[in-house]
Amino acid sequence: MSVKPRLYKGFRDIFATDIRQRNAMIETIRNVYELYGFQPLETPAIEYVDILGKFLPESDQPEGGIFSWKNEDNEWIALRYDLTAPLSRVVSMYPDLPKPFRRYQVGPVYRFEKPGPGRFREFYQFDFDTVGTSSVIADAEICCVICDTFDALGIEIGQYIVKVNNRKVLNGVLEAAGLTNFSKVITSEIVDAKGSIRKSVKEVTTNDIFRSIDKIDKIGMDGVVQLLTSGRRDSSGDFTPGLQLSDQEVQSLVRYLTTRGENRALVCDQLEDIVGKSPIGLEGISELREIDRHLTALGYEVNQVEFDPLIVRGLSYYTGPVYEGILTFQITDEDGMIKSFGSVFGGGRYDNLVERFTGQKVPATGASIGVDRLLAALTTLNRHRIHSSLTEVLVTILDKNYATEYHQIVHTLRKAGIKTELFLGSGNIGKQLKYADSLRIPFAIIAGESEFEKGTVQIKDLELGRQLSDTISDRSEWRQEQPAQFEVPKENMVAEIIKRLNRTR
C-alpha cells in the first residue's frame, strides 16, 4: 500500500529561490546587528513547557497555542513559541555570562494556532536583545537598529516608521483614572449568531485593557471603546464581552490614545499633562525624553522614529519602552485590492522575565523581526536579485564525443570559484538552454567541434538576453545580432565570466 504524500496543516515546503532570498536578507540584517556588538546564539527548538511559561493558570495542562507533548519521563515539553523565553532561560542558567549580554538569534518558532492565508504554524523570527542593563541608551539603540536594518535592506525613509511608546506612561494614565489594580469578574449574556443565549463569566485585569487597546489597528477606536465598555460583535457574529469601564474611565484612555504631536518632545509634553502627578507615568515620560535626546543627537528624525501612544504591545511582560517597526507603503494585488504589510518589527523592555527563574530582577530590552512578512515586502519592492538556482554557469553538451573536454571546462570554472553545473540530462541545445532559463541560471557555455578545434567557447549571457527580450520589438533582428552571445578564447573564459558575474552578484 502506497503512502499518500501530504503536508501537515499550517506547514509548508520552501524551495531554493525563497530560501536564498531569505538567507540574503538574514545576512544583511546580521551585519547590522553585529555592527552594534550583538553576538549569535542558538537554543534548542524544544523547551520544557514551564520554561516557556505556557501552563494554564493553576493547572498542569499546557495552553492550547503551543505544540506540546509528554516525554519519556512524563514531563511536558513543547516546541518553542518565541525566542525570548529561551533567552531568559539561558541568562538564568549561565550566570557568568558577561553583562550586558547582547545576543541575536534567528530560527523557526511554532504556534499551534489556526492557520490562514499567509499565516503558518512554523515561521522564522530574528531577535536581538540586550540583557543586564537598565540604561535607556539600550532602548534608544533598539530604534537605531530597526532604522538601520530598514536602510540596509533598501527600504527608504518614508516607506517605514518606527513607533515608540512606554508602558509606564500607560500605567500612569491608568493610575490617574483609578484603574491601576483593575480586576473584576464580569458576567454577561451572549447572544450568538444563531440567536442562542449563554452566560459568560470572566475575570478581567489590567492586562485585558492593554490587549483591548492593542487591537486598535484592526478594529479602530470605536471597536476599542466597545471592548472597554459593553462589548463588541465582529463581522462574523462572534461577541466579545466588554470590560465594563465607566464613561469617565474610557474618556481618560481615549484622550491618551488620541495624543499627537509634530515632534517627539511635543508628544511628551501632552502626555505629561495627561498622567498628572502619577510617579510611574512621569518616570515613563522621562525615559521617552531621554530616548528622544539620543535619537536627535544621532540624527534620527521624527520621520523615522515617532512617539505614538497607540503602540501598546499586548504581551503582559513588557515593563517600559515598546517599539513597532512599520512598513508604510501599500501595494495593489492581482485582484486590484490595496494591501499594506504593517508591522514587521516588534519588541520592548521586559525587566521581569528572568526574575521568575532566579528571583532577581534582570533588566532586558529587545525586538524581533517577522522574517516571512519582511521578506514578502522586500519581494514586492523588488529588492532581491536572486536566481532560482545557485548555479552561475551551465556548461551545455553539443557533442558527447567531447564529454571529457566539457568536464574539464566545468572543473576550470569551479576551481575559479564559479558555481558551475554540467548538463547531465538528455536533449538538444534548445532543451538545455530552456533548462537553464527555467532556473534563471545567468550564463551558459556552448562549445562544439568547431570551438574545440579553435580553442574557444561561446558564452551566452542568459540574464542579459532576458532583459533584452523585454525591450526589443524586432526579434528577428535581435536573433541575427545575438548581442547576448559571444565567442572568447578558452584561456579568457574565466576572466570574462567573473567580470560579468560581478554585474549580477
Q: Are 356 and 429 in the same domain?
A: no
Asked, for residue 126, whether it belongs to a domain, the answer is: yes
Asked whether residue 416 falls in the same domain as residue 343, the answer is no
pTM, entire model: 0.81
Residues 250, 256, 258, CA angle at the centre, nearest 5°? 100
Q: Are 305 and 437 in the same domain?
A: no
Same-domain pairing of 324 and 397: no
Given 318, 349, 380, the domain boundary residue is 380
Grid cell 537598529 — which residue? Answer: 145
For residues 432 and 406, give the distance between their C-alpha atoms in angstroms, rounded to a whole number. 14
Whether residue 496 is found in the same domain as residue 447: yes
Q: Which of 401, 353, 452 is nearest to 132 (CA)?
A: 353
Q: Within 10 A of 149 (CB to CB), how many other CB atoms are there?
A: 25
pLDDT single digits (tens) 295-305: 999 999 999 99
Residue 145 carries which side chain, given as an amino acid letter? V
Alpha-helical segments (H) within 333-474: 355-358, 371-380, 403-415, 429-438, 449-454, 462-469
Residue 447 falls inside a structural domain:
yes
> Phi, psi at residue 143, to the nearest 5°?
-60, -40
Query: Which residue among 340, 355, 380 closes a domain?
Result: 380
Number of domains in the chain: 2
253-275: buried (b, 16+ CB within 10 Å) or exposed (e) per residue?
beebbebebeebeebbebbbebb
Per-residue pLDDT tens over the stretch 43-61: 999 999 999 988 766 667 7
- The CATH number assigned to the domain holding 447 equals 3.40.50.800
**Domain termination site, one of 354, 380, 406:** 380
Residue ranges of alpha helices (H) inside 258-380 are 264-275, 279-298, 355-358, 371-380
**Is the residue at 7 inside a domain?**
no
Q: How far apart are the C-alpha atoms of 489 and 469, rounded to whole Å?
A: 27
Average pLDDT of the chain is 88
- Beta carbons of 340 and 330 less than 8 angstroms apart: yes
In this structure, the answer to whether residues 311 and 406 fall within a common structural domain is: no
Answer yes or no: is 197 within a domain: no
CA distance linking residue 372 with residue 382, whole number of Å:
15
pLDDT, tens only, 460-502: 998 876 666 555 555 555 445 546 889 999 999 999 999 988 8
- Report the pLDDT value the prediction gives residue 316, as an integer from 0 to 100: 76
Q: For residue 171, is it within any domain?
A: yes
pLDDT of residue 389: 67
Same-domain check for residues 276 and 365: yes
pLDDT confidence of residue 191:
61
Instruction: State the residue range of the domain holding 401.
Output: 393-504
Is the same domain home to 370 and 417?
no
Q: In this structure, are 278 and 364 located in the same domain?
A: yes
Q: Contact at 8 Å (CB) between 188 and 241?
A: yes
CATH code: domain of residue 256: 3.30.930.10
Does some domain include residue 135? yes
419 and 278 housed in the same domain:
no
User: Is there a contact between 405 and 376 (Cβ–Cβ < 8 Å)?
Assistant: no
Burial category of 287 from C-beta neighbours within 10 Å (exposed 0-12, middle 13-18, buried 19 and up): buried
Q: How many other CB atoms are there within 10 angstroms of residue 153's CB atom?
A: 21
Longest pairwise C-alpha distance within the chain: 92
- Same domain flag for 312 and 408: no
> Residues 134, 259: one domain?
yes
Whether 498 is covered by a domain: the verdict is: yes
Is residue 188 in a domain?
no
Residue-wise pLDDT tens digits, 137-177: 999 999 999 999 999 999 999 999 999 999 999 999 989 88
